[in-house]
Amino acid sequence: MEVRTAASPKDVKYYTTQRLREDFLIQDLFTAGKIKLVYSHIDRIITGAAVPVQPIPLTAGDELRAAYFLERREMGVINIGGPGRILADGKAWHLAHKDGMYLGMGTRDIVFESEDSENPAKFYLNSTPAHRSCPTVLIRPEGEAGDGIVLIKDENKVELGDLENSNHRTICKYILPGQVESCQLVMGMTHLEPGSVWNTMPCHTHDRRMEVYLYFDMDKDSLVMHYMGEPEETRHIVVRNEEAVISPSWSIHAGSGIKAYTFIWGMAGENQAFDDMDPVSMNELK
């Protein structure tokens, strides 16, 4: 597990491109047959991915000083690859493309599997510290609900923007109050329509929560210019397919791509209020 320390906005304004990328960009997340994990001191979030060719167990590692990974943590997972399974304490959960899962604190044994090694699952995960156990559930954006299976509610599928402003998008909220119970983790996915490239503009900050973005559904020649920094001291990071960016609470988090893309957002911090944000006027940006 790679460990990254927190960063001060006073220091970041002097970072080079290389230093920005070293501190905030997560590359090579999805490697066949491996789990990659990055532990950030920013709200103690862990960002990672598992691409199982053969079954891969999730272990705590020395960095967590824990008997097992979710001894003091909770975790959200979204599958952006082929169909797969997550075994949680012996129970198998089947995740199709873009299905999600919430695993509560105290889940001891976790194993990632693919149903087809030629088309492996790509399990993207965010994990945050937890103080209580919440029910483990499978989350479907479409289909049917059932025992332990939650269907994302219509009110948590929000269409915003328009083609004229290049930001026609649909926000699909997977983990948040009223949808799936958690201690502090909030997680979801935003899909941009063809012709739209802006994900969050006008932009905002939320001082009580940090955020991680995973950009995907991009071809090899595409990229996203991810904008970060304080509103009056913005910086950018070039992000390519299936790469993630860590965004501190003091930073804006917006992006514009060569063409439409999809991104997963995960938040950790003091509260879970989706609308708790501080808008930034377009006139303030520098």
> How much is the pLDDT for 156?
96
Question: Alpha-carbon distance 156 to 188, whole Å?
Answer: 10
Q: Tell me the whole-structure pTM to 2 decimals.
A: 0.96
Nearest-5° angle of CA 152, CA 154, CA 157? 80
In order of start, what are the domains of the chain with their CATH numbers? 2-279 (2.60.120.10)
> How much is the pLDDT for 127?
98
Close Cβ partners of 25 (under 8 Å, ≥ 6 residues apart): 237, 239, 243, 244, 245, 246
> How much is the pLDDT for 108?
97
Query: In the Cβ-directed half-sphere of 31, how many Cα atoms lie within 13 Å?
Result: 9
- pLDDT per 10-residue tile (average), the chain, 286 residues: 96 96 98 98 97 97 95 98 98 97 98 97 98 97 92 96 95 97 98 95 92 96 96 97 97 96 96 88 91
Q: And the tokens for 109?
A: 């044994």
Q: Which amino acid is at 87?
A: L
Which residues, in sequence order, are bridge partners of residue 31?
Answer: none
Close Cβ partners of 134 (under 8 Å, ≥ 6 residues apart): 74, 102, 104, 105, 181, 182, 183
Q: Tell me the pairing of strands 254-257 and 224-230.
A: antiparallel
Q: Which amino acid is at 124?
A: Y
Run of H or E including 17: helix 17-24
3-state helix, strand, coil in the chain (%, to 5): 10, 40, 50
> How much is the pLDDT for 273?
86
> How much is the pLDDT for 237?
98
